[in-house]
Amino acid sequence: MSGLPPSTETAVALRAAFLAYLAGERRGAAKTIETYGGDLAAFIGFLTFHIASEPTGADLAAVSLADLRAYLARVAAHGAGNATRAKKLSAIRSFYRYLRLRHGITNEAPGLILTPRSRRPLPRALTAPDARAVVEALGDTATSQALAARDNAVMALLYGAGLRINEALSLDWRDLPPPDAPLRVRGKGGRQRIVPLLAAVRAALADWAAHHPAPAPDAPLFLGARGARLNAGVVQKHLRAFRRANGLPEHATPHALRHSFATHLLAAGADLRAIQELLGHASLSTTQRYTAVDTAQLLSVWQNAHPRARS
């Protein structure tokens, strides 16, 4: 820097001092410094155009919420999504924290503007044939009838009852419901929900129960090779090998079976509130993501099948 008062120092010089601070005192990663440098250069370039002159420390102090919103809008107009804009805003906030601590240049606007929220990715469901293939044939790769029955029962709970993998594996022997009774599931936050079981799910559970080596009220329902509670990583490993051997998509995971349960119910006309209860979602907004999946699938079918889709 030139030794000028911070208010009259150029923004370019202040940026250079900030990057040197990151590299020296903060020992920041080279990639981080490069990214921050590029983001701040773009921001200073925007300010230069905005005020029609090279910005100084005083200009940085005068940046308003409206200015920041205009900058983020310009970034969005060039194709940046919410995640990218959030990262650029993070760089600006770090720069302003440095300016306040080292140069006495204060500005509350960067801390007041809302961070663009990234959209959660849509749940990725399997097709109905692929989901059935997992449930019905995963056990065929097991080394014994007992392990085959166990793996089929786990998959049946994920796709046939919409359980999370950890919910299924946390069940104890005492949790097995009597005939025609629903299953009580302990979900996130200790919340309990009641899940009715299809005949096919009951049959899979009964088959595994007949092979269970040590049935006792407090025994884990699903056991691993050494007699302890079955680990989710083992299930994921078996499914990974199965999907690759059978040409299923890479998103064929235990959680994708739960997504498939919800998506296929919705496509069949199930009520969204009922699906929320079955999945154990605390908020309906979480369940509503499946409507976007269903709409996207309908659009895909229309685009591939309708005679006017490509005209």
Residue positions annotated with a catalytic role: 164, 188, 255, 258, 281, 290
Closest CA to 130 of 240, 268, 249: 249
In angstroms, rounded to a whole number, what is the distance separating the alpha carbons of residues 271 and 168? 24
In angstroms, rounded to a whole number, what is the distance separating the alpha carbons of residues 74 and 68? 10
Residues 6+ apart with CB under 8 A from 19: 33, 36, 37, 40
In angstroms, rounded to a whole number, what is the distance separating the alpha carbons of residues 264 and 79? 34
CA atoms within 13 A on the CB side of 204: 25
